[in-house]
A and B are shown apart, each in its own frame.
Chain A
Amino acid sequence: MNRTNNRSSSNRFLKLFSILGLLLLASFCLSVSLGSTLLPLSELWKVLIGSNEANPIITQIVWDFRLPRAFTALFAGAALSVSGLLMQTIFRNPLADPFVLGVNSGASLGVAIVLLVLAPSGVALTQNLELSGQLLVVIAASLGAAFALSIVLSFAQRVDVMSLLILGLMLSYAIGAIVSILMFYAMAERLQSFFTWSFGEFGNVTWSQFKVFAPAISLGLCLSTILVKSLDALLLGENYAESLGIRAKRTRFLVLAIASILAGGVTGFCGPIGFLGIAAPHLSRYLFKTAEHRILLPASMLIGSLIAILADLLAKAPGFDSVLPLNAITALIGAPVIIAALIKQRNLKRMFG
């Protein structure tokens, strides 16, 4: 009875995965072709196969702007979504997201120090962030994230999960307070550039930065796949996981480290991008109706990437001159998803655990 059920559900999984894959491919192409100028697909094709007929301007737009941006969204979406999934499993809490441990406040502190404090004392930063300034922001954000992360991880093996969650929240508040103080004393123009960073943006990652960004994210994603079995066991709580032969505390440390690298990496390069990390894992649970991580993990990656690319597409506001803040778009997509899941299941806790 169950064997046949297994087969029918793996058929369903396969179908869902292929649909999601196709959707992702389509939205990726769309994202490359749509922007402040619309590129027809035929032109795109010429550029991609390196045809001689390709318009050099279009070639430059595609290679230097559109492709890195789309790829960044692809990786960032997967990373945030997977780190959200890891956090929700570790904390057995449906509202946990990649940032509960203060990773994004740490990053914003780093960026605030660079943009609000150091900028006057000789670090050249225009309001629009030149390339060197941009790199500095990335480094500052990563260091800030690493700082918050190291504090939390130093406690990770000593206290229980609930205390850890509270610790992360308090850390976020404390760091947020420091950032507010910095903002309070900062000049208006500098505040503007800080705000711009805090809105989130996939378009700032250049190919040379991508060479750092992509391997870091890929490493995190690969490592997380090794943990699927332990994550399944951890759904029952750490005591049961231990009894199944899993070193719960070590696994917890590892999971938090991976989740933080993923979330910290994205925040460093793209700014703090909210909601994606909560919404994508819920959406994958909702679609796949399973608690098994070997299904949920790839599903979350696909759905996270899909949401990120679609959100970026909306943020670019194709056909209009202006852009929208990415963070606002992800929240506008993410919040209804969670509310819908909540209404549909009547009890999110029950759906997740």
Chain B
Amino acid sequence: MDTAKRTPTLQVTDVSIGYQSKGEVTKVVAQDLNLVMDRGELVCLLGPNGAGKSTLIRALSGMTPPLKGKISINGKDYSELSPKERARQVSIVLTDSMSVGLMSVYSLVALGRHPHTNWTGTLNTKDHRRIDWALEAVNCKTLADRHIAELSDGERQKALIARALAQEAPIMFLDEPTAYLDLPRRVELIRILRDLAHNENLSILLSTHDLDLALRSADKLWLYNNDQTITVGPPEELALNGSIAQSFASDKLDWDTEQGSFRMHRNPSMWVTLSGDGAKLIWTQRLLARLGYGITEDRSKSEFAVNVSGENWSIIHTRRNENFGGLRDFISRLRGYIDQR
């Protein structure tokens, strides 16, 4: 345990990745990468679409060797490991299409035992126990007998993670595991992965362009910059020092450090003061931002005040008050004021 702490599980030294054909480098995706992944860490590889996240995952999992540099696992050079040794160190979940008919989830997960079974692939009690455990870990126990072709995207993703878990490798790479999932499924998946990393002491790297989820869950971010390098740090650090804003920057978007997200709305055209409490306050903030209002403390700057305490929504002008029993009326009035502008 202690030695595992001292040597990083995965170490990437001076690596460049990209494409080559016939020995000639045709495209460099990223260069001078120096990355480290420890045990028990959930790392999110973050970058805009097309930054080269998949290419890095492919390089790390040995599918396409890096253009230069060294990747080592538990201190051993990756290229020196035999495929079987590699399979015991690294498991993967890819975006490759999976249209295997007549294969149950249980058999799919059982394939993960390949590096541990004999040439016929016969499963012993220990293998069965590990498969059951893997299914349990991703809450897929009830899916065991279903065919893969019948699964929803979220279920299939979980089944694939169970397969990777069954492989009993300390490192897991996942390429865009949340890509086709809706928000609740995404949150569930990330939570499962984070728990696995922390409780089972696994090193899990997942690539995603889902900024919000990565910021909330990752122990560490590997952030693709615009200049083909990767910045490493805890999410909070990268949010505060502006790295995220820079990496995702475009002239249409600006980064809101306080919210930890990109502003969806343009500059406000009207300013109001807001008072209230609870969830109602938060949702009214969102509403005002969405409609194009800015919220200020400065009464001299504001056109009117909005109060959302208690039952009512009210708009307080200097001379008169407007009270609304229903949210919809409130919204249409607010919209009316903006449209008058």
Contacts and interface: CB of A to CB of B under 8 A. Distances in A.
Q: Do A and B come from one complex?
A: yes
A353 B167 CA distance: 23
Interface stretch (A45-53, A111-119, A123-131, A290-298): A290-298
Given A5-B145, A229-B119, A350-B149, A244 B111 contact: yes
Given A233-B114, A291-B102, A352-B102, A242 B83 contact: yes
B120 A294 contact: yes
B144 interface: yes
Contact of B101 (A239, A244, A349): A349
A237 interface: yes
B101 A352 contact: yes
A285 B149 CA distance: 15
B134 to A, nearest CB: 12
Contacts of A226: 119
Nearest to A244: B114
Interface string A318-353: 000000000000000000000000000100011111
Contacts of B132: 2
A317 interface: no
Interface string B92-114: 10101111111100111001101
B179 to A, nearest CB: 16
B111 A232 contact: yes
A290 B88 CA distance: 27
Contact of B100 (A242, A244, A246, A291): A291
Nearest to B167: A244
Interface residues of B, number: 40
A233 B100 CA distance: 11
B121 interface: yes
Contact of A289 (B96, B102, B106): B102
Nearest to B149: A350
A344 to B, nearest CB: 13
Contacts of A2: 106, 128, 131-132, 144-145
A244 B120 contact: no
A239 B63 CA distance: 7
Interface residues of A, number: 32
A292 B120 CA distance: 11
Given A291-B101, A350-B99, A245 B87 contact: yes
A244 B102 contact: no
- Residue among A1, A229, A244 with the highest chain B CB neighbour number at 10 A: A244
A351 B111 contact: no
B221 interface: no
A88 to B, nearest CB: 11
B86 interface: yes
B83 A232 contact: no
Contacts of A247: 83
A97 to B, nearest CB: 18
B90 interface: yes
Contacts of B84: 245
Contacts of B292: none
B59 to A, nearest CB: 13
Given A229-B117, A243-B91, A290 B83 contact: no
A2 B110 CA distance: 11
A92 to B, nearest CB: 8
B79 to A, nearest CB: 14
A79 to B, nearest CB: 22
Interface string B26-64: 000000000000000000000000000000000001110
Contacts of A349: 99, 101
A353 B101 contact: yes
A244 B121 contact: no
Contacts of A244: 87, 111-112, 114-115, 167
A237 B99 CA distance: 10
B96 A237 contact: yes
Contacts of A285: 102
A155 interface: no
Contacts of B115: 244-245
9 contacts: A3-B128, A228-B120, A233-B111, A236-B96, A237-B96, A239-B92, A243-B91, A244-B87, A345-B101
Interface of A: 1-3, 5, 226, 228-229, 232-233, 235-237, 239-240, 242-247, 285, 289-292, 294, 345, 349-353
Given A237-B96, A351-B101, 18 more contacts: A228-B121, A232-B111, A232-B114, A235-B103, A236-B96, A236-B108, A237-B97, A240-B92, A242-B83, A245-B82, A245-B115, A247-B83, A290-B102, A291-B102, A350-B149, A353-B100, A353-B101, A353-B149
Interchain residue pairs A-B with the least CB separation, the first 4: A245-B87, A353-B100, A245-B84, A229-B121
Interface of B: 61-63, 82-88, 90-92, 94, 96-103, 106-108, 111-112, 114-115, 117, 119-121, 128, 131-132, 144-145, 149, 167
